[in-house]
Amino acid sequence: MMQIGSMSSQATANLKLSPLNPLTRRSSSNLTRVHLANLEKLLQKPPLPEKLSSTQTVRQNVSENIDSGSTEKRGRNLLEGLNLARLWPEMRVADEMSPRHLNRLQQLLNKTGEGEYSPRNNLGRRWREYHGRDDWEGLIDPLDENLRREVVRYGEFVQAAYRFFHSNPAMPLDEAPKARHVALPDRSYKVTKSLYATSSVGLPKWVDDVAPDLGWMTQRSSWVGYVAVCDDKREIQRMGRRDIVISLRGTATCLEWAENVRAQLIQMPDEEGEQEHQAKVECGFMSLFKTRGAHVPSLAESVVEEVKRLMELYKGEELSITVTGHSLGAALALLVGDELSSCAEGVPPVAVFSFGGPRVGNRSFANRINEKNVKVLRIVNSQDVITRVPGAFLGECKPEKEKAKKTGVVGGMLDMLEDNMPLAYSHVGTELRVDTKMSPYLKPNADMACCHDLEAYLHLVDGFLASNCPFRSNAKRSLARLLQDQGSNVKKLYTSKAKSLSLNLERPGQGIMHFPISLPSPS
């Protein structure tokens, strides 16, 4: 008879192994540790639900803060536990913008790429609206998220032009320049042609003898931008058309600065009609646009030739032409848009996205641009003095002045002054106005270089919601790029927090970290 508690060897062999069965302790030590770890996971407390109501959150935070901390900190912890930022959006924005908000700040500082965009939505049939068909009516204030993305994206095309030029600014003296690769921020585009601007003035030869290493600054022709075309089927489908981009950098050489100060208005070459109503533009800008170089055509000739070639190559497709530029490049972009609008039959819609652009011509030139249906979106920083030159303030189109023009005597006097003053300049197009003081990161008294810097412009556009709203709390653009370019103009609270977060802008023995950004245009 078998006794209770005794088992045969056959029964023991047939017994299933179990991590909780003491008879199976003969297993290896590794297997035992695995079983114990699994047991610990089973005994752990279940996680809290991800979503709680605002009342539950407040109660939970209050109870946790009352139970923890000393008596002196209970009052402060009680207010923090209430989490008022969840209840009032204004306090939430202020909290997320605060330098104490380390998680958000660290996220922005650790981004070193070309930056993130607003959602990449399908523009589809609305592409003409975002390209300026209706002068961006209803999309500026408040700023549409799709338009914000497009503006930042075109600004980065200009940054690529800066970066490429500064990497190798010199040109050969005895032959035409060879084609070089331009790294674009958007890989769905490919560069098809390099563009060159030539100054009609020159510096004495002794300048090169005194400073031979700076010969590129005295050369009359310089690489100024490029033509690129979208070559990705998925991106073409998303945008609703194949986009041709002309990107132009700002002032970078001595001779370009010399052209900038030639501020007298001159008649456009093809302009006819009465003298007082003729379209006129700044002499220096027209010089850089129309002058041929020793081995390169003029900027006007190059752009027209390449756009005609692309129109023929992609004949039958939906096309658009987007001209974008910063500073001097913004002024040249207007001249490019004017030239392309009438260069051939069936020219695709032309839009200009300009950043920190100066005035280019008189009011008749602005009317000419409008009549040719060239759409212009001017991104302007209120603190940027470059956008208020050249010319007299009478050339500025402001609502109060337009209202005054409706009155007979005052309106007639303003028209007479604008038509006869030698520096009666006028801006062109629709304005998207940002302000350095709106950024929680930049000093309100930032210097001129910061207010005109292209990276600062893109930073302000990325955070712009509306003219009566604070900087958006979910802005995505990297702050590391802004710290490197304009560190002296960033508030000390954020620079100190950047150091406390161990953001190494400098590496021992390697100098400053080089993020993929453009050099700021001189201002």
Q: Catalytic residue numbers?
A: 327, 384, 452
Residue type (1 letter), 276: E
Strands 242-248 and 350-355: unpaired
CA atoms within 13 A on the CB side of 258: 14
267 bridge partner residues? 280
Q: Where are the beta strands (DSSP E) in 112-241?
A: 189-198, 221-230
- CB atoms under 10 Å from CB of 511, counted, come to 8
Q: Cβ(252)–Cβ(331) under 8 Å? A: no
Residue partners of 90: CB distance under 8 A and separation at least 6 = 470
Integer CA distances (angstroms), 440 to 85, 443, 449, 450, 467, in order = 17, 8, 18, 15, 15
How far is the C-alpha of 324 from the C-alpha of 136, rounded, in Å?
16
CA atoms within 13 A on the CB side of 284: 20
431 bridge partner residues? 378
Integer CA distances (angstroms), 233 to 3, 188, 239, 242, 279, in order = 82, 9, 10, 9, 41
Q: Where are the alpha helices (DSSP H) in 182-253?
A: 206-210, 215-218, 233-239
Q: Which of 388, 416, 381, 389 is nearest to 486 (CA)?
A: 381
How far is the C-alpha of 239 from the C-alpha of 233, rounded, in Å?
10
Joined together, the tokens standing for residue 329 give 């490049």
**C-alpha dihedral, 156 to 161 to 164 to 165, nearest 10°:** -140
Q: Which residue has the tokens 């650790």?
A: 110
- CB atoms under 10 Å from CB of 254, counted, come to 16
